A and B are shown apart, each in its own frame.
Chain A
Amino acid sequence: MLRPASLFGLLLLACLAGLMGALLIGSVSLPSTDVFAALIGNSNEPQHSIVWQLRLPRALSAFTVGGLLALSGALLQVLLRNPLADPYVLGTSGGAAVGALLAMLTGLSGAWLNGSAFVGAVFATFLVFGLARRDGDWSAARLLLTGIILAAGWGALIAFILTIAPEHNLRGMLFWLMGDLVAGDIPWPHLLLLCAVLAISWLLARPLNLLARGEMQARTLGVAVAPLRNTLYILAALSTASAVTLAGSVGFVGLVIPHLLRLAGARDQRVLLPACVLAGGTLLVIADTLARTLWAPQQLPVGILTAAIGIPLFLLLLLKQRADIHT
């Protein structure tokens, strides 16, 4: 178990190291002095554009996606009071995927593709919300069930689209489904959303600690549960939709990072939520750096790497925890 100060110290170090790695490592080898010079605006082409237009935007995209997914996972786990909830339980990724694949099928790309994925994600989330409500209220169990059932429906639709899609579209579609970051601009709207969601949820963190103990406990200790749950739902839905729009459905981060941090002692939501952003962001930055270098010049979908890093890390901590209990 780590104290919050040492936990954040470690996470910040890892985050800086990850970002530096992402800037330094790539298909064109740049000496670190050139990278630093480019960062402070003190260098010539092409180093400047490699750092500012390729590596930095990509690293920031990865960080944003990882942060959004981990944060959304942590929020949904409290909302559903289920440690097995991940950002996709509400069918968000399925809806986004159908939106994205339909866009690809009709030959759209770029902002249209992203927009279509975002609309699909938001539609899917509110569909679950609408169907799970009854008499103006909903229970975690009904929400979870509705989400899982609709996710299966989206899965079938995805399979259908893949079946009828022309050959030359398939590779792009598969990459999208596995979670893939592409080069682009610095994702300012997504980054801002991450900051906003973190700020709002952090201000709600003490009531969230109570909600995690159950609705009745939260209400008897003075939390207005209904507005809190609605806020939580909207925050988690927007975060997931935004992450999925940026990088497709990158698995694993949203489920594993909150668990990992709880095992490391971050049980208080006021510690857990910011730690999730740092750890989720860092994991994805590292995974993405590996994804574009391990098999170079071929790029791997980043989702493969998050699993390859996340699963052993998680199992290790789980085994270690069991050893701690027995001693």
Chain B
Amino acid sequence: MSVLALDKVSLRIGTVDVCRALDVTFSPGECWAILGRNGTGKTTLLHTLAGLRATDNGSILLDGAAIEQLPRRRIAQHVGLLPQDSHDPFPATVLETALLGRHPHLSPWAWESAEDRALARAALAQVGLVDWDARTLATLSGGERRRVALATLLTQDPDILLLDEPTNHLDLHHQVALLDLLARQAHEHSKIVIMVLHDLNLAARFADHCLLLYGDGNVCAGTCDDVLETTVLERLYNQPLRKISDRPPAWLPE
């Protein structure tokens, strides 16, 4: 199992200080939520963790090695990303899309085997898309397409799953089912799950660690039990909150 760490990382986008000399270690079995207002750099931080973007200072360490030194293929064998949105200009079926996840594990000129197809079908079954193989993406709803994208990530089967607003477009039931699936990936399969979430209550219920981005370079990282205090969250979102439950913790905006 891999370990991902931020080593004295500083990040800036334009005038926004995302973080300054930040040290965080993400260990197997942990499920992290990244929280913060719009434009505080949550997606930027996630992309940086995936090695898609250079840091302004410091480095991202994947098993102790600086991620920008590693070939993309090596990274993809350990780190997977669910982007915020996907756009498919060309026709493709559900199974073909899920099978893309096998790419980093196949030798360069190999074709997908029956075994790969079985893995892709199992991943599709996990997101509730059984027997949808031949459907084309264009005929799916936004939420269904989101689940296909998630199945691609599960087919890739990385040790570290980075997810940018994974509950986008999903109905209430699928939001809960998805977050439950991700939490189990961490707890039962010793994966690292790091996700950007906007729903504070879902984050508090399913994540065990969280990382708060204030947008001024201040960052607060730790276990949910330590970090998720009403006063802290009110400052984070610039919004008065009322705590309505302790187990699991839940808040309503005032």
Contact between chains at A220 and B80 (CB < 8 Å):
yes
- Shortest C-beta distance, B109 to chain A (Å), equals 6
**A222 and B90 in contact (CB under 8 A), knowing A209-B100, A216-B83, A268-B96?**
no
Contacts of B77 in A (CB 8 A): 222
Asked if A217 CB lies within 8 Å of chain B CBs, one says yes
How far is it, in angstroms, between the C-alpha of A222 and the C-alpha of B70 when the chains are bound? 11
How far is it, in angstroms, between the C-alpha of A219 and the C-alpha of B52 when the chains are bound? 8
Contacts of A225 in B (CB 8 A): 72
Contact between chains at B90 and A216 (CB < 8 Å):
no
Q: Mark A260-271, 1 if CB is under 8 A from B, else 0.
A: 001000011010
Contact of B81 among A209, A220, A262 (CB under 8 A): A220
- Shortest C-beta distance, B168 to chain A (Å), equals 15
Smallest Cβ-Cβ distance to B103: which chain A residue? A221
- Shortest C-beta distance, A224 to chain B (Å), equals 5
Contacts of B93 in A (CB 8 A): 267
- Shortest C-beta distance, A134 to chain B (Å), equals 17
Asked if A193 CB lies within 8 Å of chain B CBs, one says no
Contact between chains at A222 and B73 (CB < 8 Å):
yes
Contact of B76 among A83, A209, A222, A267 (CB under 8 A): A222
Q: Mark B84-121, 1 if CB is under 8 A from A, else 0.
A: 00111111110011001101101011010000000000
Asked if A210 CB lies within 8 Å of chain B CBs, one says yes
Contact of B89 among A83, A207, A325 (CB under 8 A): A83
How far is it, in angstroms, between the C-alpha of A325 and the C-alpha of B135 when the chains are bound? 11
Asked if B139 CB lies within 8 Å of chain A CBs, one says yes
- Shortest C-beta distance, B51 to chain A (Å), equals 8
Smallest Cβ-Cβ distance to A82: which chain B residue? B89
**A222 and B89 in contact (CB under 8 A), knowing A216-B52, A217-B83, A267-B96?**
no
Asked if A212 CB lies within 8 Å of chain B CBs, one says yes
Contacts of A203 in B (CB 8 A): 108-109
Contacts of B52 in A (CB 8 A): 216, 219-220
Asked if B71 CB lies within 8 Å of chain A CBs, one says yes
Contact between chains at B90 and A83 (CB < 8 Å):
yes
Asked if A133 CB lies within 8 Å of chain B CBs, one says no
Smallest Cβ-Cβ distance to A1: which chain B residue? B134
Asked if A320 CB lies within 8 Å of chain B CBs, one says no
**A220 and B76 in contact (CB under 8 A), knowing A210-B103, A214-B87?**
yes
**A222 and B96 in contact (CB under 8 A), knowing A83-B89, A83-B90, A216-B83?**
no
How far is it, in angstroms, between the C-alpha of A177 and the C-alpha of B97 when the chains are bound? 41
Asked if B50 CB lies within 8 Å of chain A CBs, one says yes
- Shortest C-beta distance, B228 to chain A (Å), equals 29
- Shortest C-beta distance, B49 to chain A (Å), equals 11
Asked if A3 CB lies within 8 Å of chain B CBs, one says no
Contact between chains at A81 and B75 (CB < 8 Å):
no
- Shortest C-beta distance, A151 to chain B (Å), equals 21
Q: Mark A213-237, 1 if CB is under 8 A from B, else 0.
A: 1101101111111000000000000
Contact between chains at B109 and A213 (CB < 8 Å):
no
Smallest Cβ-Cβ distance to A81: which chain B residue? B89
Chain B residues with CB under 8 Å of chain A are: 50, 52, 71-77, 79-81, 83, 86-93, 96-97, 100-101, 103-104, 106, 108-109, 111, 139, 156
Chain A residues with CB under 8 Å of chain B are: 77, 81-83, 203, 206-207, 209-210, 212-214, 216-217, 219-225, 262, 267-268, 270, 325
Other contacts beyond A219-B52, A267-B93: 16, CB < 8 A: A81-B89, A207-B103, A213-B88, A217-B83, A217-B86, A217-B100, A219-B72, A220-B76, A220-B81, A221-B76, A221-B100, A221-B103, A221-B104, A222-B77, A224-B71, A268-B96
Q: Can you give 27 contacting A-B residue pairs, CB < 8 Å? A: A77-B90, A82-B89, A203-B109, A207-B103, A210-B103, A213-B92, A213-B97, A213-B100, A216-B81, A216-B83, A217-B100, A219-B52, A219-B72, A220-B52, A221-B101, A221-B103, A222-B72, A222-B75, A222-B76, A223-B72, A224-B71, A225-B72, A262-B90, A267-B90, A267-B92, A267-B93, A267-B96
